[in-house]
Structure 1
Amino acid sequence: YHAVIVDEAQDLSPVQLHLVSKLVEPSAGDMRGLTLLADPAQSIYYRGISWKEAGIEIRGRRTRVLTKNFRNTQPILEAAASILERCEDLKEENEFIAPESTDRLGPRPRLVFYQSEIGKLEFIRDTILRLCQRHEFRLGDIAILSRFKYDKTIKRKPLNELAAFLNEHDIPNTFYKNPQFDIFENNVKLITMHSAKGLEFPVVFLMGLEDYAMPFISSPETVEEDTRRDRKLLYVSMTRASEWLFMLCPKQRYSPFIRDDLDRSKVHVMEVEAVVS
Structure 2
Amino acid sequence: MTTPQALDLSLLDEDQRQAVLAPRGPVCILAGAGTGKTRTITYRMAYLAQQGMINPTNVLAVSFTTRAAGEMSDRLKRLGVGGIQARTFHSAAMRQLQYFWPQVVGDLPWKILPPRERYQLIGRVTRMATIEPSKDNVRDVSAEIDWAKATLITPEGYPEAVQRFSRKPPAKPELVAKAYAKYEELKASPEGMALDFSDLLAHVAGAIETSPGVAEQFRQQYRTFVVDEYQDVTPLQQRVLEAWLGPRQDLTVVGDANQTIYSFAGATPDNLLNFSRTYKDAVVVKLQRDYRSTPQITDLANEVISKATGRMAGTRLELEGMRPNGPRPKFKAYESEPQEAAEVAAQILKLIRRGVPESEIAVLYRINSQSLALEEALADAGISYQVRGGEGFFDRAEIRLAIGELVKASRRTDLPDDPVQVTRAALAGIGYSSQEPEGAQARERWQLLDALVGLVEQQVATMPGITLTGVIEDLQQRRANKQPPTVNGVTLATIHAAKGLEWDAVFLVGVTENLLPFRHAIKAGGEQLEEERRLFYVGITRAREHLQISWPLAKNPDSPANRKRSRFLDGIVPSLQASSGKSRTSRAKACRVCRQPLSLAAEKALGRHEDCDGGMEEGLFRALRSWRAQRAKEMGCPAYIVFSDITLTNIAESKPRDNADLLSIPGVGPMKINNFGAEILQIVSSHGA
The TM-score with structure 1 as length reference comes to 0.81
Q: Cα offset for 1:85?
A: 1.5
1:195-252 CA-to-partner distances (Å, cap 9, x unmatched) read: 1111000010112311111111327762112210100000000010001001011245
* C-alpha contact 1:215 1:226 (8 A) present in aligned 2: no
Change (3 A) 1:125 1:137: same
User: AA paired with 2:343?
Assistant: F
Q: Cα offset for 1:264?
A: 3.5
User: AA paired with 2:249?
Assistant: M
* C-alpha contact 2:291 2:323 (8 A) present in aligned 1: no
Alignment-derived partner of residue 100 in structure 1 = 320
Q: Are 2:565 and 1:254 aligned?
A: yes
Q: Secondary structure at the match of 1:177?
A: coil
Alignment-derived partner of residue 153 in structure 1 = none
Q: Cα offset for 1:184?
A: 9.3
Aligned match of 2:295 in 58, 71, 74?
Answer: 74
Alignment-derived partner of residue 141 in structure 1 = 360
Alignment-derived partner of residue 373 in structure 2 = 161
Change (3 A) 1:96 1:115: same
Unaligned runs of 5+ in 1: 150-156
Change (3 A) 1:59 1:143: farther
Alignment-derived partner of residue 278 in structure 2 = 57
1:133-152 CA-to-partner distances (Å, cap 9, x unmatched) read: 12x10111101111001xxx
Change (3 A) 1:117 1:239: same
**Matched residues in 2 for 1:270 and 1:115: separation?**
5
* C-alpha contact 2:551 2:565 (8 A) present in aligned 1: yes
Q: Secondary structure at the match of 2:505?
A: strand
* C-alpha contact 1:203 1:242 (8 A) present in aligned 2: yes
Q: Cα offset for 1:63?
A: 1.9
Q: Cα offset for 1:270?
A: 8.5
Unaligned runs of 5+ in 2: 1-221, 392-484, 554-562, 583-689
**Matched residues in 2 for 1:197 and 1:58: separation?**
29
**Matched residues in 2 for 1:45 and 1:253: separation?**
26
Q: Are 2:513 and 1:211 aligned?
A: yes
Matches within 5 A, 1:168-247: 168-178=380-390, 185-218=487-520, 222-247=524-549
* C-alpha contact 1:67 1:100 (8 A) present in aligned 2: yes
Q: Secondary structure at the match of 2:297?
A: helix
**Matched residues in 2 for 1:201 and 1:186: separation?**
13
Alignment-derived partner of residue 154 in structure 1 = none
**Matched residues in 1 for 2:362 and 2:381: separation?**
17
**Matched residues in 2 for 1:144 and 1:101: separation?**
22
Change (3 A) 1:270 1:164: closer
Q: Cα offset for 1:273?
A: 3.9
* C-alpha contact 1:110 1:269 (8 A) present in aligned 2: no
Change (3 A) 1:160 1:117: closer
* C-alpha contact 1:111 1:269 (8 A) present in aligned 2: no
**Matched residues in 1 for 2:262 and 2:532: separation?**
9
User: AA paired with 2:310?
Assistant: D
Q: Secondary structure at the match of 1:106?
A: coil
**Matched residues in 1 for 2:280 and 2:289: separation?**
19
Aligned match of 1:271 in 579, 583, 595?
Answer: 579
1:53-75 CA-to-partner distances (Å, cap 9, x unmatched) read: 78963565522221211111000
Q: Are 2:262 and 1:45 aligned?
A: yes
Q: Secondary structure at the match of 1:112?
A: strand
Q: Are 2:252 and 1:31 aligned?
A: no
* C-alpha contact 2:276 2:282 (8 A) present in aligned 1: no
User: AA paired with 1:82?
Assistant: E
Q: Secondary structure at the match of 1:121?
A: helix
Alignment-derived partner of residue 152 in structure 1 = none
* C-alpha contact 1:120 1:272 (8 A) present in aligned 2: no
Alignment-derived partner of residue 334 in structure 2 = 114
User: AA paired with 1:164?
Assistant: E
User: AA paired with 1:35?
Assistant: T
Structure having the higher Rg: 2
Alignment-derived partner of residue 465 in structure 2 = none
Higher strand proportion (structure 1 or 2): 1
Change (3 A) 1:160 1:118: closer
User: AA paired with 1:141?
Assistant: E
* C-alpha contact 2:331 2:548 (8 A) present in aligned 1: yes
Change (3 A) 1:269 1:108: farther
Change (3 A) 1:39 1:273: same
Q: Are 2:235 and 1:6 aligned?
A: no
The TM-score with structure 2 as length reference comes to 0.34
Q: Cα offset for 1:89?
A: 1.8
* C-alpha contact 1:72 1:101 (8 A) present in aligned 2: yes
* Greater RCO, CA 8 A, separation 6+: 1
1:86-109 CA-to-partner distances (Å, cap 9, x unmatched) read: 2112466x3112122215310011
Higher helix proportion (structure 1 or 2): 2
* C-alpha contact 1:14 1:54 (8 A) present in aligned 2: no
* C-alpha contact 1:41 1:90 (8 A) present in aligned 2: no
User: AA paired with 2:298?
Assistant: L
Q: Secondary structure at the match of 2:328?
A: coil
**Matched residues in 2 for 1:53 and 1:98: separation?**
20
Change (3 A) 1:171 1:31: same
Q: Which moved more, 1:104-113 or 1:43-52?
A: 43-52
**Matched residues in 2 for 1:2 and 1:269: separation?**
60
* C-alpha contact 1:148 1:208 (8 A) present in aligned 2: no
* C-alpha contact 1:80 1:235 (8 A) present in aligned 2: yes
